[in-house]
Amino acid sequence: MGCGLPVRGRALSSPLKPRGLFWTFAGVFLLVLVAFTALAVLTSVTILHPIAAQRARDRTELALDRAARQIAALPDPYDLSELRRVLRANPLGDADALLVLSAWDGRVIPDRTLPAESMEQVVRLLAGAGLADSAAARAASGIPPGAAGVGEAALAPLEVIGHRTVTIEGSRFGDVAAIGSAVRPSLLASPESRALLLFMPFAILASGVAGLVMVRILVARVRALEQFAARVTGGDLAARVAVQGDDEITRLEERLNVMTTRLEAARADLDRVDQQRRRLLGDITHELATPLTTIRGAIETLQNASVPKSPEEHAMFLRDALEETERLDLLVSELLELTRLEARAQPLKTVRLDWAALCRNAARRLAPRFTEAGLALHADGAEGSAWVCADGLKLERVVDNLLVNALRYVPAGGNVWITVAGGESRVRLTVADDGPGIADADLPHVFERFYRADSTRKQVGTGLGLAIVKEIVVQHGGEARAEAREPRGVAFVVTLPAAECEPGTMAGARA
């Protein structure tokens, strides 16, 4: 089974049943484990062992250099305790190695106390390397004559593996020598190495079992991610994957949960935008239908010669058509203005200006309209100065839109207050009224495009004025919000950064 059978020059093969990720990974894991174990042994023998030997030599050379420099720098180089301290302070890294000073006067000073037979062997090694006079060294070190040859077998594997000459004030004081092992053990020389090779198959088996268990755990978690992805693909954006552990898959699970949360929020935003779009179409249809119907009726009446019309009626029809045309023009203009603002089609031309003075001028311009509507406009709160860095024409549009909004929705007999308060870092404009107010559910949405609260749908307007205000304020680095007033009414609050630019500064700069 599983092999191809030749039939008329073609092979019909029985496809192998898929083993799945677990068994595939298990086989590959075992093969890689065996291969890398063999490679590790080969690397240890051919690369790591020579590198370790070289590092040992480097440590020996460094210890010799430091010891020679420190002895030369001693205030009293003949002080035996100081010499031993320096030698002990520069270990060779091998517990069996010795650091020895062979002085010019024949003394041999090791870094530790040695028995007589070991000292005699050290003297022999130094003399053989030409670093000491054998007789003088024995005499200076107090080695008895009968100790000659004793302990040779114990120290036979040692040799002088390096030395440095100590020079004090231009004269040779002696030599610092390192005495270490002369025989390098092979890979199988020690019981530990043989035990390591003996237990290596068991280690490989244990590693393989542990690897299989880990793979089973990983596969289970991957399958959970697969099921999660299937749910999300099916449209279930409320699905979440259970986060467990603290590893790479855990971080992936967290990222997927964050991604799904954002997708869910984005879909909610799209639904909200779709609702706004539907409401916008209804509003625009309503706003366009009324003036178009009026214009069409007026024109048809004027064109119908069979309908008697007095000069006054003729002028009235023309006036009605003109007024409705102006309403259409306002709607189209505000749509175009908002579109240009959102597209950043016109960069801001910022100058340092007094926002309080601008508000006072706007209040004076609109005062006759407020009086005609039976409203009281209070601009006492706009006294003094409040300097900001802004585009004057666009900031004037903000104030006009807020005042016109109050003029449109506050009934006759009401009051409107305009206040400007300056601070070190922010300047705040407040336009408040004592009108019917806005429902709490509508307050967060009044600055959205084409949004009109249910209580204001019967009023004339496009629903774009506050959206234009919000876009202009945001481009200036400010904030706009609506707040309910007690006992009634609403307050529109706009804050901008205080001025930091010089007069006459031009830019598409952001304040």
Q: Answer yes or no: are the C-beta atoms of 417 and 430 closer than 8 Å.
A: yes
Cis peptide before 444 (omega within 30 of 0): no
CATH 3.30.565.10 fits 347-497, yes or no: yes
State how far the Cα of 428 lies from the Cα of 307, in Å rounded to an integer: 58
Per-residue tokens: 113: 């106390």
State how far the Cα of 55 lies from the Cα of 335, in Å rounded to an integer: 79
500-504 long-range contacts, CB within 8 A, separation 24+: 500/389, 501/350, 501/351, 501/352, 501/389, 502/352, 503/351, 503/352, 504/351, 504/352
pLDDT the model gives residue 97: 80
State how far the Cα of 114 lies from the Cα of 54, in Å rounded to an integer: 28
The mean predicted confidence, pLDDT, of the chain is 76
CATH 1.10.287 residue ranges for the chain: 248-338
Q: Answer yes or no: are the C-beta atoms of 499 and 389 closer than 8 Å.
A: yes
Buried b (16+ CB within 10 A) or exposed e, 185-204: eeeeeeeeeeeeeeeeeeee
**What secondary structure, in 3-state letters, does 349-361 show?**
CCEEEEHHHHHHH
Q: Answer yes or no: are the C-beta atoms of 379 and 390 closer than 8 Å.
A: no
Q: Answer yes or no: are the C-beta atoms of 354 and 361 closer than 8 Å.
A: no
Q: What is the pLDDT of residues 134-191, one digit of tens each?
A: 666 666 666 665 544 444 444 447 788 888 888 888 888 888 888 877 555 455 444 5
Kind of pairing between the strands at 158-168 and 351-354: unpaired
pLDDT the model gives residue 114: 80
How many residues make up the chain in this entry? 511
State how far the Cα of 419 lies from the Cα of 471, in Å rounded to an integer: 21
Other C-beta atoms closer than 10 Å to the C-beta of 370 total: 19
| DSSP code at position 158 | E
Q: Which residues contact 292 (CB under 8 A, 6 or more apart)?
A: 324, 328
3-state secondary structure of 159: strand
Q: Of the CATH numbers 1.10.287, 1.20.1300, 3.40.50, 1.10.3470, which one belongs to the domain with range 248-338? A: 1.10.287
> What kind and span of H or E run contains 171?
strand 171-181
At 56, the amino acid letter reads A
Instruction: Report DSSP letters for 280-301, one per residue.
Output: HHHHHHHHHHHHHHHHHHHHHH
> What kind and span of H or E run contains 130?
none
Cross-strand partners of 440: none
Per-residue tokens: 236: 């279930």
3-state secondary structure of 92: coil
pLDDT the model gives residue 184: 53
> What kind and span of H or E run contains 123?
helix 116-128
Q: Answer yes or no: are the C-beta atoms of 162 and 178 closer than 8 Å.
A: yes
pTM attached to this predicted model: 0.43
Q: Answer yes or no: are the C-beta atoms of 116 and 148 closer than 8 Å.
A: no
Question: Within 13 Å of residue 260, how many CA atoms lie on the same side as its CB?
Answer: 22
CATH 3.30.565.10 residue ranges for the chain: 347-497
With a cut of 70, list the residues of the chain below it in pLDDT.
1-30, 32-33, 36-37, 39-53, 93-95, 134-156, 182-201, 203, 276, 280, 283-284, 286-287, 343, 345, 450-463, 500-511
State how far the Cα of 224 lies from the Cα of 241, in Å rounded to an integer: 7
289-298 long-range contacts, CB within 8 A, separation 24+: 290/324, 291/324, 291/325, 291/327, 291/328, 292/324, 292/328, 294/320, 294/321, 294/324, 295/320, 295/321, 295/324, 295/325, 298/324
**What secondary structure, in 3-state letters, does 205-242 show?**
HHHHHHHHHHHHHHHHHHHHHHHHHHHHHCCCCCCCCC
pLDDT the model gives residue 6: 41
3-state secondary structure of 422: strand
